[in-house]
């Protein structure tokens, strides 16, 4: 359950401002005339009260209102340089920001939902009771901005006017955070009041890095108050922990869709991209993958790239599935980004004319950034996320320090990417999505692509993602369940989220043509797991284009498929021409390896999921029905053909 505005808003408890008059008195006392003038354009009472309470709580020396004007954005850039949060690099418009060595990824163990007594949360989430969170905030956030300037920006998570867009306020003493917000989100200062009224809500985010020192990182907290859709973040700067317009507000949006927009909207950890099919037709995809599993690369493979991380989906009046990207920029992992796999991104990173904030890469003596896997000549020394670096340097535990952190990033506007469909991205009507994909880092079990035979089986594919841990979360390791690749961002009970998925994808509001094809994708199968003498991945990054290309044809009825217990599988003869078009040999022997069904592995997965979901309360019975049906069909196949079923046995 989610009850909005339940119990007290912590910001109001601490700031004690609960009226417009009270808010205005604080605002007038703390803003200079230029900033007061700017803020006078915002009339929303709740928003002004939020800002006033944040001022009372954080006690900044000054307050800067970011109206989104070119001058204001320039002020933020310069403030970041003056504070030393960013430094200029050799290339015009490029800067470097370093997060503390202990703050290089999402601090999952210090991230909590603020909940009320008796609320049921996702079994995969940490939560803290309201009273406890209040104690922390009183202790650590009161006066946290003394000596600093508080910056306040008004943004929209999506094109203004889109049915699934929601406005948000970002309040921070970090100019790096506001600078990143300006690149990643649409400043909607002029439209904030109208949007808050239209949607009936807005999100609020309050962050301060404090002194920004290692000693304080253990005290860092990322709190998300579900009931008041307000986040608090302290003593950290990594954007995944601080720019809570991103994953903080995504969580609120997931919550909102699960409890207030059932059968209307979904909020997903998905890229959005378009593929061009025969005759120039465009087919749009929305695809989920856990953090650090190549969503950015996959999205850019399309001819009409829209977004690489988040998607807001809804069913339009005409029965089509629509999507918008709540963001307008990319906070992308740079490890392994190179000319071969990411030509468009590399053009921005190594060319001219694109503003880029780099984080946690190596900077050489000439002011050029370097990162692992860029396939260029690498320097032997420089400055990186832990300070001076030289090849062979070891940390206190005698581990080799890599040239760049595995989770080092680049922040840039999406419209700089050559294949970005900028005009479409800004259309509040969204793009019509025909294909949904789910993927994870799965080295040994599922084939590269398979299509669900029904909406219910599609929901089961999303529910069943497993993936190897990546560098995007501090301290994560092993292979883990990653439901919908959205699990870290689902605040409420998983059962509620799942129920909302079943309801949405089975909705009668979809027209026959509007119902999406739902598929699983896996680029991570390895030779070792397919009985091959080869090593490493069984395919290459660039094969993604083929899997998406095949789904494009399938979704438009141009190719058939082979039926199997887990779903529909592609025919070799349909894949071959797609490989030809990326100039790649595709021997039948490789297809046979990729698409053979390893029954024991798949059944093990089904058992794992059945057991894990069996421990959650209230999971919809149809999930278990699907697992049971698939398992018995798989075992029947094993009976007939053995533990490894060749794809040709099915056709």
- Residues involved in catalysis: 293
Burial of 426 (0-12, 13-18, 19+ CB in 10 A): middle
Structural tokens at position 67: 């109206």
How near is the Cβ of 359 to Mn ion at its closest, in Å?
A: 15
Using the minimum distance from each CB to ligand OXD, give the nearer residue, 240 or 432: 240
416-435 residues in contact with Mn ion (CB under 5 A) are none
Measured CA to CA, the distance from residue 358 to residue 369 in angstroms comes to 8
> Which residues of 209-341 form beta strands (DSSP E)?
221-225, 230-234, 265-268, 270-276, 282-288, 304-307, 311-315, 321-324, 329-333
Structural tokens at position 583: 């100039």
3-state secondary structure of 521: strand
How near is the Cβ of 460 to Mn ion at its closest, in Å?
A: 23
Using the minimum distance from each CB to ligand OXD, give the nearer residue, 182 or 327: 327
Cα→Cα distances 6→119, 251, 274, 343, Å: 11, 18, 41, 49
Determine the angle formed by the axes of helices 45-58 and 20-30, rounding to 10 degrees: 50
Neighbours of 203 (CB within 10 A): 25
Structural tokens at position 540: 């290459």
Helix or strand holding residue 244 (H, E) = none
Cα→Cα distances 478→59, 287, 481, 600, Å: 43, 23, 10, 20
Site string for Mn ion, 248-267 (x = CB under 5 A): --------------------
For 639, residues 6+ apart whose C-beta sits below 8 A from its C-beta are none
- Number of residues engaging Mn ion in binding (CB under 5 A): 2
Measured CA to CA, the distance from residue 127 to residue 113 in angstroms comes to 5
Stretch that binds Mn ion, among 77-85, 187-195, 286-294, 586-594 (CB under 5 A): 286-294
**Residue 331 is a binding residue for ligand OXD (CB under 6 A):** yes
Using the minimum distance from each CB to ligand OXD, give the nearer residue, 208 or 472: 472
Select the residue interacting with ligand OXD from 298, 312, 354, 472 (CB under 6 A): 472
Residue 374 contact, options ligand OXD, Mn ion, none, Cβ 5-8 Å cut-off depending on partner type: none
Residue 238 contact, options Mn ion, ligand OXD, none, Cβ 5-8 Å cut-off depending on partner type: none
Residue 106 contact, options ligand OXD, Mn ion, none, Cβ 5-8 Å cut-off depending on partner type: ligand OXD
Using the minimum distance from each CB to ligand OXD, give the nearer residue, 331 or 504: 331
Helix or strand holding residue 642 (H, E) = none
432-491 residues in contact with Mn ion (CB under 5 A) are none
Using the minimum distance from each CB to Mn ion, give the nearer residue, 177 or 590: 177
Measured CA to CA, the distance from residue 246 to residue 36 in angstroms comes to 27
Residue 472 contact, options Mn ion, ligand OXD, none, Cβ 5-8 Å cut-off depending on partner type: ligand OXD
Q: How far apart are the first and last CA of the chain?
A: 46
235-264 residues in contact with ligand OXD (CB under 6 A) are 240
- From 594, 598, 498, select the one nearest 537 (Cα to Cα): 594
How near is the Cβ of 550 to Mn ion at its closest, in Å?
A: 26
Residue 630 contact, options ligand OXD, Mn ion, none, Cβ 5-8 Å cut-off depending on partner type: none
- From 242, 261, 339, 250, select the one nearest 288 (Cα to Cα): 250
How near is the Cβ of 296 to ligand OXD at its closest, in Å?
A: 9
The residue sitting closest to ligand OXD, measured at its beta carbon, is 291
Select the residue interacting with ligand OXD from 9, 209, 304, 309 (CB under 6 A): 309
How near is the Cβ of 348 to ligand OXD at its closest, in Å?
A: 18
CB 105 within 8 A of CB 214: no
DSSP assignments along 431-451, one per residue: EEEEEEEEE---SSSS-SEEE
How near is the Cβ of 254 to ligand OXD at its closest, in Å?
A: 13
List the beta bridge partners of residue 150: 63
Using the minimum distance from each CB to ligand OXD, give the nearer residue, 473 or 499: 473
- Number of residues engaging ligand OXD in binding (CB under 6 A): 6
Using the minimum distance from each CB to Mn ion, give the nearer residue, 409 or 605: 409
Using the minimum distance from each CB to ligand OXD, give the nearer residue, 255 or 309: 309
How near is the Cβ of 643 to ligand OXD at its closest, in Å?
A: 36
Helix or strand holding residue 622 (H, E) = helix 621-641
Site string for ligand OXD, 105-144 (x = CB under 6 A): -x--------------------------------------
Measured CA to CA, the distance from residue 487 to residue 175 in angstroms comes to 30
CB 471 within 8 A of CB 407: yes
Using the minimum distance from each CB to ligand OXD, give the nearer residue, 31 or 107: 107
CB 458 within 8 A of CB 445: no
Using the minimum distance from each CB to Mn ion, give the nearer residue, 299 or 626: 299
Stretch that binds Mn ion, among 105-113, 213-221, 307-315, 600-608 (CB under 5 A): 307-315
Site string for ligand OXD, 632-651 (x = CB under 6 A): --------------------
Residue 207 contact, options ligand OXD, Mn ion, none, Cβ 5-8 Å cut-off depending on partner type: none
Measured CA to CA, the distance from residue 68 to residue 152 in angstroms comes to 10
How near is the Cβ of 222 to ligand OXD at its closest, in Å?
A: 12
Using the minimum distance from each CB to ligand OXD, give the nearer residue, 122 or 291: 291
Residue 155 contact, options ligand OXD, Mn ion, none, Cβ 5-8 Å cut-off depending on partner type: none
How near is the Cβ of 270 to ligand OXD at its closest, in Å?
A: 11
Neighbours of 644 (CB within 10 A): 15
| Phi, psi (deg, nearest 5) at residue 629 | -65, -45
DSSP assignments along 551-569, one per residue: HHHHHTTS---EEETTEEE
How near is the Cβ of 406 to ligand OXD at its closest, in Å?
A: 12
- From 332, 310, 314, select the one nearest 323 (Cα to Cα): 314
CB 222 within 8 A of CB 233: yes
Select the residue interacting with Mn ion from 291, 320, 467, 501 (CB under 5 A): 291
60-79 residues in contact with ligand OXD (CB under 6 A) are none
For 135, residues 6+ apart whose C-beta sits below 8 A from its C-beta are none
Select the residue interacting with Mn ion from 85, 119, 170, 309 (CB under 5 A): 309
Residue 296 contact, options Mn ion, ligand OXD, none, Cβ 5-8 Å cut-off depending on partner type: none
How near is the Cβ of 291 to ligand OXD at its closest, in Å?
A: 3
Give the interface with Mn ion as residue ranges (CB under 5 A): 291, 309
Give the interface with ligand OXD as residue ranges (CB under 6 A): 106, 240, 291, 309, 331, 472
């Amino acid at each position: 359950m989610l009850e909005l505005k339940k119990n007290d808003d912590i910001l109001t408890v601490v700031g004690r401002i609960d009226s417009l008059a009270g808010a205005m008195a604080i605002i007038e006392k703390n803003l200079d005339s230029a900033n007061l003038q700017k803020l006078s354009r915002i009339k929303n009472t709740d928003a002004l009260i939020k800002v006033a309470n944040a001022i009372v709580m954080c006690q900044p020396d000054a307050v800067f209102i970011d109206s989104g004007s070119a001058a204001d954005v320039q002020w933020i850039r310069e403030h970041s340089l003056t504070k030393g949060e960013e430094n200029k690099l050799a290339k015009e418009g490029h800067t470097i920001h370093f997060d503390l060595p202990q703050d290089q990824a999402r601090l999952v163990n210090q991230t909590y939902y603020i909940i009320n007594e008796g609320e049921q949360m996702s079994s995969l989430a940490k939560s803290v009771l309201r009273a406890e969170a209040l104690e922390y905030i009183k202790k650590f956030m009161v006066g946290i901005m003394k000596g600093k300037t508080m910056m306040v920006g008004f943004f929209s998570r999506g094109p203004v006017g889109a049915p699934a867009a929601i406005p948000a306020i970002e309040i921070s003493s970090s100019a790096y955070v506001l600078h990143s917000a300006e690149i990643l989100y649409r400043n909607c200062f002029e439209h904030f009041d109208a949007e808050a009224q239209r949607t009936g809500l807005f999100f609020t985010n309050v962050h301060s890095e404090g002194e920004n020192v290692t000693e304080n990182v253990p005290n860092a907290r990322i709190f998300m108050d579900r009931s008041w859709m307000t986040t608090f973040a302290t003593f950290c700067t990594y954007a995944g922990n601080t720019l809570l317009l991103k994953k903080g507000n995504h969580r609120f949006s997931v919550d909102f869709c699960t409890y207030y927009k059932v059968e209307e909207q979904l909020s997903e950890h998905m890229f959005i991209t378009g593929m061009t099919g025969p005759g120039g037709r465009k087919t749009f995809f929305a695809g989920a993958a856990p953090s650090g599993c190549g969503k950015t690369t996959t999205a850019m493979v399309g001819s009409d790239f829209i977004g690489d991380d988040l998607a807001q989906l809804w069913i339009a009046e005409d029965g089509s599935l629509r999507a918008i990207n709540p963001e307008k920029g990319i906070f992308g992992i740079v490890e392994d980004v190179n000319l071969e796999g990411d030509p468009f991104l590399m053009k921005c990173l190594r060319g001219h004319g694109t503003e880029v904030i780099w984080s946690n890469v190596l900077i050489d003596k000439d002011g050029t950034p370097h990162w692992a896997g860029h396939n260029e000549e690498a320097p032997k020394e420089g400055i990186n996320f832990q300070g001076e670096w030289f090849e062979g340097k070891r940390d206190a535990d005698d581990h080799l320090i890599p040239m760049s952190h595995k989770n080092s990033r680049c922040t840039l506007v999406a419209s700089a990417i050559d294949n970005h469909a900028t005009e479409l991205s800004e259309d509040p009507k969204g793009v019509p999505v025909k294909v949904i994909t789910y993927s994870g880092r799965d080295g040994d079990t599922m084939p590269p692509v398979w299509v669900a035979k029904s909406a219910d089986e599609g929901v089961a594919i999303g529910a069943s993602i497993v993936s190897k841990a990546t560098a995007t979360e501090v301290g994560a390791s092993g292979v883990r369940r990653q439901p919908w690749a959205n699990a870290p961002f689902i605040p409420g009970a998983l059962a509620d989220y799942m129920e909302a998925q079943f309801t949405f994808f089975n909705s009668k509001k979809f027209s026959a043509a509007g119902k999406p094809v739902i598929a699983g994708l896996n680029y991570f199968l390895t030779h070792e797991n397919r009985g091959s003498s080869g090593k490493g991945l069984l395919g290459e990054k660039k094969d993604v284009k083929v899997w998406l290309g095949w789904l494009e044809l399938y979704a438009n009825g141009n190719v058939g498929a082979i039926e199997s217990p887990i779903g529909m599988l592609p025919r070799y003869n349909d894949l071959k021409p797609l490989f030809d078009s990326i100039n790649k040999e595709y021997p039948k022997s490789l297809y046979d390896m990729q698409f053979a069904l390893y029954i024991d592995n798949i059944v093990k997965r089904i058992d794992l999921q059945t057991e894990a979901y069996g421990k959650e309360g209230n999971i919809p019975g149809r999930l278990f029905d699907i697992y049971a049906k698939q398992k018995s069909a798989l075992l029947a196949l094993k009976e007939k053909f053995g533990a490894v079923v060749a794809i040709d046995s099915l056709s």
